[in-house]
Structure 1
Amino acid sequence: MRSTARQLLRLLPAVAIAAVAAGCAGTPSPSPVGFSSSPAAPSAPAVSESPAVSESPAVSESPAAPAGKKIGACRTQDMSAVVGMQPSEGGSTSTAMVQLTNKGGSVCEVDGWASFSLVNAAGEVVEVKTEKVEQPGAPTATTLKAGGSAWAGIKWKNCDKGSSDCPTGNTLRFNLEADTDGKVAELEGFPAPEKSNITMGSLQIGSLQPDRQGVVAW
């Protein structure tokens, strides 16, 4: 009996080891978690909707430019006049070109005719029969900046200085507001003032133009 018991005791460890081995063999090993043969393609990020595009603000029309200030008429006191004698083919008629220049600091306008008066050595206006004519055409309104000029032609009939009815003087005056007197004009190509050799039986004054071209061609 004792020998049998000893044999059983010797067999117990072996049986236990065999049982443990059998249990390990019967349980399948778990597969690793979280791995696959091919990595999953990353999902595309959600595309957020584009924010609503607000309409462009309405473009307001440019305010209308205020009506320009009316340009005033040129005044005699702000102007200068140069009267240049033109070459003559002889005869009883003389011709001169008039250049009116704005000497003021403001823009002004001329339109129509300038007036001219014959003045004697005593500074008195000598009466001359005068006619304003549409030559070389109708007057042209001309805006003159400071230093700008307008042009005209004048023609007159010469007369015999010794005749009692021959108006004679030594200079000319011009005026834009009145028909007589005014400021002294600068004369070019005329007889020396001391000779008082300007004679005018009659005078024609041409219209003011923006250019000198043709103002004495009549």
Structure 2
Amino acid sequence: MTRNSPRSLALRTFMALTPALLVTGVAVALVGGTRATEAAADAVSTGPSASAVSADPAASAGPAEPAASAVPDGGSSPACLTDDLAGTVTGRSGSGARQAVLSLTNTSGHACEIRGWADVALVTPPGEVVHVPTLKIGSAGPAIVLAPDATAWSVLQWDVCEAARTGCGVGVGLQYIADPDSTGIAADLAELPEADRSGITMKALRVGPYQSTRAAALA
């Protein structure tokens, strides 16, 4: 009877265990692969959504302000009346002639058309017109259609003078007329401190044409 050596017993044991070890290894590999796949899927599903990353910038933007539009051949809108427009004269600092900007905002609730120049005059506290030589400068552009709350602009320039001198007009405000059939309306004043002090003095006034932007009026 042949006697089994320890070495042959160990080899037989290993051969008997090998299939079991292979099955166990395959099972572990399958379980690990499945968990890795599930983790990757979770990472994708829990990431930031496309809508959160690429938000529409237009959604957070406020409503656009009404704009004045130039119409080369004129539009179908009615002419702006003086009563349709709220005016403000804003002073500008600088040397030489006094300069300001007249802004006329459409408050009528409907579109209206404006072109040419405003009639601007210096006025006293009772509203009487102070006659000062006035010149319309620049060239009239195309008609400007003002949507409700849109604004047209015009530059104003005048030469200051000493109140006591002959030919020097003195007033406390400025009025504007947009249509020839209406009376003047006093404009609100801003950054014209002399109006509340000794008064606005001028010996000559120059009025620029209507423009659809403030920058164009001052160009």
> Normalising TM by the smaller chain, what interval?
0.5 to 0.7
TM-score normalized with structure 1 length: 0.62
**In terms of mean alpha carbon deviation, does 101-110 or 176-185 score higher?**
176-185
TM-score normalized with structure 2 length: 0.62
Q: Distance in 2 between matches of 1:186 and 1:98?
A: 10
Q: Distance in 2 between matches of 1:116 and 1:179?
A: 14
CA shift, 1:146, in A, is 0.7
Match of 2:124 in 1: 120
**1:203 is the counterpart of 2:205:** yes
What secondary structure, in the 3-state scheme, does the structure 2 residue paired with 1:168 have?
strand
Question: Is the radius of gyration larger for structure 1 or structure 2?
Answer: 1
What secondary structure, in the 3-state scheme, does the structure 1 residue paired with 2:206 have?
strand
Gapped runs of 5+ residues in structure 1? Answer: 1-68
Q: 1:73 aligns with which of 79, 91, 112?
A: 79
| Percent of aligned pairs with the same amino acid | 34
Q: Deviations over 1:157-213 (max 9, x none)?
A: 111112132001000110011399511101111125443420111011001011111
Label 1:160 to 1:192 Cα distance change in 2 as closer, same or farther (>3 A): closer
Match of 2:114 in 1: 110
Q: Deviations over 1:77-133 (max 9, x none)?
A: 010111110121x23x11111111000011101111111110012321100100111
- Runs (4+) off by over 4 Å: none
CA shift, 1:70, in A, is 2.5
Match of 2:93 in 1: 87
| Structure with the higher helix share, 1 or 2 | 2
| Total equivalences in the alignment | 145
Q: Deviations over 1:35-72 (max 9, x none)?
A: xxxxxxxxxxxxxxxxxxxxxxxxxxxxxxxxxx9311
RMSD: 2.0
Label 1:159 to 1:178 Cα distance change in 2 as closer, same or farther (>3 A): farther
